[in-house]
A and B are shown apart, each in its own frame.
Chain A
C-alpha cells in the first residue's frame, strides 16, 4: 500500500452489523419457560416450598418468580456466550504481527464491575499503536472505520484480555442457576406477604395489590439469582487470579511512546467497524521513542526493524 490510509469512515453508509438473533431467542425461550413452569412448576423449588410451607405451590404462581430468575439468567447467558473465544469462538480472526509506537493506553478495568457484575468483566485495557507503513493494510483491509493519531497516522487498536473474565462468566452461570432455583422459591414466599395482607380489602384496586405481589416475587427471584451469579463470578475470579498473565503484566508496563512488536488475533470490531487485535497474545517492547505523543507514520518507520519474524511465544 503506497497511499496513507484515510482517517475515519472508509465506506459510505452504516456498518452492516449482524442482526442480533439473541434477543429473539431469549424472548422465545422466556415464553417457553413461562409456559413450562405454569404447567409443570420448577422441580427443586416446588419441593423447597413444600418443605417450608408444608403445602404445594400452584404452578401458575411460580411463573412470575421464574420469569424474574430467567431474565437474570438470560443476561448471564448473553455475556457468557459472547463470541470472544471464551465459550463461543471468535467469528473471524487471523493471527498477525505488527509493529509501531504506542500512541495511547486506556485502562478498561473497573472495580465496580468486578464487585457488582463480575460476569460482565470486559477487556483489561487497550492500547493504540501507530503502525509502520508496511502494516497499513492491517488497519484498512475490510475496515469500515480507521482510527488515527492526533497527527493523522493510522493506528491499530490492541485489546488486552482480562485473564479472569472467562472464569468469572462460567462461575456466574453456575452460581446463577443455583441462585435461580432458590430465587423461585423465595420469590413465591415473598409474594405471600401481600396476599397475607389481604388484597381483597382494596376492593376495586385488588388488581393493583395482585400486581404488586407479582412484581415483588419476580424481583426477589431475580435478586436471588443475581446474588448467586455474583458469588459464582467472584469464585471464578478468585480461582484464576493467581494464574500467569504475561500479556497483562507487559501491558501494565507500556506507556505512550513505547516501541512495540505486537501479536494477536486480527479482527473487525462489530460495533465501530475498525480493525483491531482482539485479543493481543504477545507484546514485545523494543525501545522508547524520544519525544512524547502524538506520532506519525514516519516516526514509526524510523524505529529499528521489528521482530515480527522472530518467535515471541513459546510453542504450545
Chain B
C-alpha cells in the first residue's frame, strides 16, 4: 500500500469527519443555545461512524481499480479511521464552522494517513532486514 493511498484515505476521512461532526451544531439537540452540547465521547462515536464509513467506501473503490490483498488494506484503512475518529471529531465539534473544520481536519487526516503508512512501512523494512 503506497503512502499516497493512505494520505488520500486520511484526507477524505478527515474532511468528512470535520464536515459532519461540525454540522451536529445545526441539530436541534446539539446546537447552542437550544440544546446541550455533545460530550467528547459522543463526538468520538460520531467521528468513528463517519470515518469508518468513508474508509470502507474508499477500500471498496481501491479493490475495484487496484486489486490487492483485502485484509492488510482493511487493517490500515481502519487504523486510519480509528485515529481520525478519536482525535479529529472533538476538534471538528469545537471548530463548529463546517468549512473550516473540513480544511483543518482534512489536512490533519492526510497527515495521520501518511503517518500510519510511514510507521507500517518502516516496520516492514525492519522485517526484511532481519530476514
Contacts and interface: CB of A to CB of B under 8 A. Distances in A.
B16 A71 contact: yes
A112 B65 CA distance: 8
The listed residue with most B CB atoms (<10 A of its CB), out of A20, A60, A110, A122, is A20
Interface stretch (B68-76, B77-85, B97-105): B97-105
A182 interface: no
B107 A27 contact: yes
B115 interface: no
Nearest to B100: A31
B86 interface: no
A156 interface: no
B65 A120 contact: yes
Contact of B38 (A34, A200, A207, A215): A207
A23 interface: yes
Interface string B20-59: 1001101111100001001000100110011001000100
Nearest to A214: B20
Interface in A115-136: 116-117, 120, 122
B98 A207 contact: no
A207 B64 contact: no
B19 A116 contact: no
The listed residue with most A CB atoms (<10 A of its CB), out of B16, B49, B67, is B16
A26 interface: yes
B24 to A, nearest CB: 5
A206 interface: yes
A218 B17 CA distance: 12
A113 interface: yes
A216 B45 CA distance: 17
A28 interface: yes
A23 B46 contact: no
Which of the four size classes fits the interface of chain B? 35 or more
B92 interface: no
Interface in A51-98: 60, 63-64, 67, 71, 75
B65 A117 contact: yes
Nearest to A28: B103
Contact of A64 (B23, B30, B46): B23
B51 to A, nearest CB: 11
A218 B42 CA distance: 21
A4 interface: no
A55 to B, nearest CB: 18
A271 interface: yes
A219 B60 CA distance: 14
Nearest to A27: B106
A289 interface: no
Interface in A159-206: 199-200, 204, 206
B58 to A, nearest CB: 10
A208 interface: yes
B99 A31 contact: yes
B2 A34 contact: no
A34 B16 CA distance: 11
A210 B103 contact: no
Given A20-B7, A30-B106, A211-B50, A38 B98 contact: yes
Contacts of A23: 7-8, 11, 110
A211 B49 contact: yes
B65 A206 contact: no
A215 B61 contact: no
A27 B102 CA distance: 7
B65 A210 contact: no
A242 interface: no
| Nearest 4 interchain pairs by C-beta | A27-B106, A35-B99, A206-B29, A210-B27
22 contacts: A23-B11, A27-B107, A30-B102, A30-B103, A31-B100, A34-B98, A67-B16, A71-B15, A117-B61, A120-B64, A120-B65, A200-B28, A204-B29, A206-B28, A206-B29, A207-B30, A207-B46, A210-B24, A211-B50, A215-B49, A215-B50, A222-B57
Given A24-B107, A27-B103, A38-B98, 10 more contacts: A23-B7, A23-B8, A26-B11, A27-B11, A30-B15, A112-B67, A199-B27, A199-B28, A210-B27, A214-B23
